Amino acid sequence: AEHADLVLSEASRLFAEIPCGDDLDWLFRLRSSELFLNLWKQAAKDGLATRRPVEELLAEQGVTQTDPRRTCTSCLQEFPSRSALFRHLAEAGTHGSGVEPDGGPTATVGQDVMAASMLPCVKASWGELQEGVQQSSLSVTQFNSAFGHLSEAQCLGELALLAYSPGQVAAKVAPPWLPAACGVARGFYQLREQRRAFPALVQLREGAAEALFGGTPPEEDDMCVQLREWNLAAEAAWAEMKIADVTQLVDRCRQVAALVSRSQMEVLVSLSGAQGLLTWLRLQSSQEEFNQLLNVARQNTDEPRLLGAIAALVQ
């Protein structure tokens, strides 16, 4: 009834009583943030890790013949069912449950516990990550742990959300550090791609020297030597390097990376592990026989991209 008659301009007063009311604007903006979700999950795991097993608590109280799956770890009260326990936990707010039947830890907490315990941990982690990105003080491994599971586009979107601080009113202008942070992020993804592609290029060059490069030894190929040196430098620096230094390492081989497109690079990386295929292709002297083999392959697949590739090879 109150909701039906509520004047919209007075709706904000209802949020004043919510434990996390001061952070609602910030939390709402992060509702689709993968980064925030992972921080929240980690805070929950850390909280569960500090909880004592319910069996240990019961033993200290001399309570026996109690099912820990239906027992509150705070008041040690046993309930007739798990649903009854969950209702108790929701009402108590600050109480915790025991373990699931499979032995995995679980906890059901109310808003008071989340606002008082978990949310401050998440806010602290968010602030530390924001400061590390803003000052480019994160190591590459730390940046990879936080953002490496995302695509480059997703990472740039998360950085835009990271610009918001808890309790901060939305700013109309992006903070001055955000463009530089996005540039560093792009450099990170380029570095990660180069660490995957350049060793494969060296492997391809060394394994197919006679077939594709006229027998020129790899050690006499300036580009191959440059890539070898870059690979050694990248592997040595990866564990300790700060994200502020990423661009400098990427620029060392930017000219090499610019020689081929991303699609061409993918083909070369795939070929690096297929020396037998390269040898077979080199031995195909008859275009007519090769086209016949492609026609056989065409009849055994309906994958559009594969059919397109086969059509491009037929002359």
The pLDDT tens digits of the residues spanning 234-244 come to 888 887 889 88
SS3 state at 277: helix
CB 248 within 8 A of CB 233: no
Residue numbers of the chain with a pLDDT score lower than 70: 1-4, 6, 8-17, 19, 47-70, 73-76, 82, 89-113, 167-173, 208-216, 300, 305-307, 309-315
- Structure-block tokens of residue 310: 């086969």
Q: Which pLDDT belongs to residue 156?
A: 93
| Other beta carbons within 10 Å of 294 | 16
Residue 11 DSSP one-character state: G
What pLDDT does residue 205 have?
A: 77
99 bridge partner residues: 105
Strand-pairing partners, residue 165, are none
Q: Give the tokens for residue 243.
A: 């994200």
The CB-side HSE value for 103 (13 A sphere, CA atoms) comes to 0
Q: Name 290's Cβ contacts closer than 8 Å, sequence gap at least 6.
A: 284, 313
Phi first, then psi: give them for residue 312, nearest 5 degrees.
-70, -25
Nearest Cα neighbor of 67 from 94, 99, 105 is 99
Which residues lie below 8 Å from residue 258, measured CB to CB, with a gap of 6+? none
Per the DSSP assignment, residues forming a β-bridge with 72 are: none
| CB-CB contact of 146 with 129 (8 Å) | yes
39 C-beta neighbours (distance < 10 Å), count: 21
Q: What is the predicted pLDDT for the residue at 238?
A: 84
Tell me if 161 sits within 8 A of 36, measured CB to CB. Answer: yes
pLDDT of residue 102: 42
Could you tell me the two tokens for 91? 């009402």
CA 201, CA 196: separation in Å to the nearest integer? 9
Considering only CA atoms, give the Rg of the chain: 29
248 closest CA partner among 140, 174, 124: 140
Gap between the Cα atoms of 189 and 159, Å rounded: 14
Task: Enter the tokens of residue 9.
Answer: 């301009």
Instruction: Name the percent of the chain in helix, strand, coil, to the closest 5.
Output: 70, 0, 30
**Distance (Å, whole) CA 253 – CA 262:** 15
| Alpha carbon distances (Å) from 279 to 56, 58, 87 | 66, 70, 68
**What CA–CA distance (Å, rounded) separates 180 from 90?**
45
- What stretches of the chain show up as alpha helix (H) in DSSP? 2-5, 24-29, 34-49, 54-60, 82-92, 111-113, 119-134, 140-147, 152-162, 178-207, 209-213, 222-238, 246-251, 254-257, 262-272, 275-283, 287-298, 304-313
